[in-house]
Structure 1
Amino acid sequence: MFRRHSHPWWKSFIYAYAGLRRVFLRERNFRFHLVVATMVIVAGILFRLTFIEWAIIFLAIGLVLGLETVNTSVEAICDVIKPEKHGSVRRIKDMAAGAVMIASLTSAMVGVVILGPHAWNWFMRVIGSK
């Protein structure tokens, strides 16, 4: 009923790390999303976000990075199955990229909603102190 794995459970983390390392090294968009995520985290630290705000920010970051990784996997599978150009493969790749775009735009909106008021208050304090 249950398939036994041929490796200890902790090796799954090693394999997952290898996959993430590969995505990081080969995918420019993944690195871009990591840079944006880092900037958002730094802003969150500076603005002293609440626990709930952090939870929402981390969910948004995880969603984008996770979908970017899945998108990369879908593209790799398509390239193995059908290396030559093919209309169906192009549509599949476009749909996977569209999922990343939806997550990215949604995360950007989350960032504006959460960080925007903090940035506005900071800006007003800076302007008011002059």
Structure 2
Amino acid sequence: MRRFLRGFRYAWAGIVAAVRTERNFRFHLCAAAYVLWFSQYYTFTSVEYALLALCIGGVMALELVNSAVERAVDKPDVAHWRAAGSAKDMAAGAVLVFSAAAVVVGLCLLGDWEVLCRIMKLYTSNLPAAAALLLSAVLAVLFIRGRKPKDI
């Protein structure tokens, strides 16, 4: 049982490392937060929320895999340089493909013009709500930019 629980600790350490060092992972975290924030204005069913969760989780998981592949093949020897580059490109491509599919799902679920207009009206007519949204956007940009990661 101890070994089983230790695996969760290692997994959490990997997620924390990605948050600290991977700008794209931080971007996807912020995008997920905004999707969830704005989803409160919709009357989604549990299945629609499950679909959002699968898309968010899939993008985040693939971003972690992409980061792992990049680290694993970061400094190959001369004989493996081309294969390492292809592996990194394919992992990045996997993130791109799943992210594009998640965007399509997001547009299908969040693209209701009436709800979007209602959200815009809320934030343009309510100064505290607009200030909170603006502040969150500034904090998100600062979080995404982050510090320069140290070599790991």
Q: Scaled by the length of structure 2, what TM-score is found? A: 0.71
Cα deviation, 1:24-48, whole Å, max 9, x if unaligned, reads 1100000000000000001111223
How far the C-alpha of 1:92 sits from its partner, in A, is: 1.2
1:68 pairs, out of 26, 48, 63, with 63
Worse-matched range after superposition: 47-56 or 29-38: 47-56
1:20 matches 2:15:
yes
Change (3 A) 1:123 1:37: closer
How far the C-alpha of 1:124 sits from its partner, in A, is: 5.3
SS in 2 for 1:61: helix
Identity rate, percent: 37
Unaligned runs of 5+ in 2: 122-152
Change (3 A) 1:108 1:122: same
How far the C-alpha of 1:86 sits from its partner, in A, is: 2.0
Partner of 1:122 in structure 2? Answer: 115
Worse-matched range after superposition: 95-104 or 7-16: 7-16
Distance 1:61 1:83 in 2: 35
Distance 1:22 1:83 in 2: 25
Cα deviation, 1:6-36, whole Å, max 9, x if unaligned, reads x432121111110100011100000000000
Where in structure 2 are the equivalents of 1:43-122 lying within 5 Å?
Answer: 43-79=38-74, 82=76, 86-117=81-112, 120-122=113-115
How far the C-alpha of 1:87 sits from its partner, in A, is: 2.1
Worse-matched range after superposition: 40-49 or 91-100: 40-49
Distance 2:30 2:77 in 1: 31
Q: What amino acid does structure 2 have at the position aligned with 1:78?
A: V
| Native 8 Å contact 2:41 2:115 kept in 1 | no
Unaligned runs of 5+ in 1: none
Aligned residues: 118
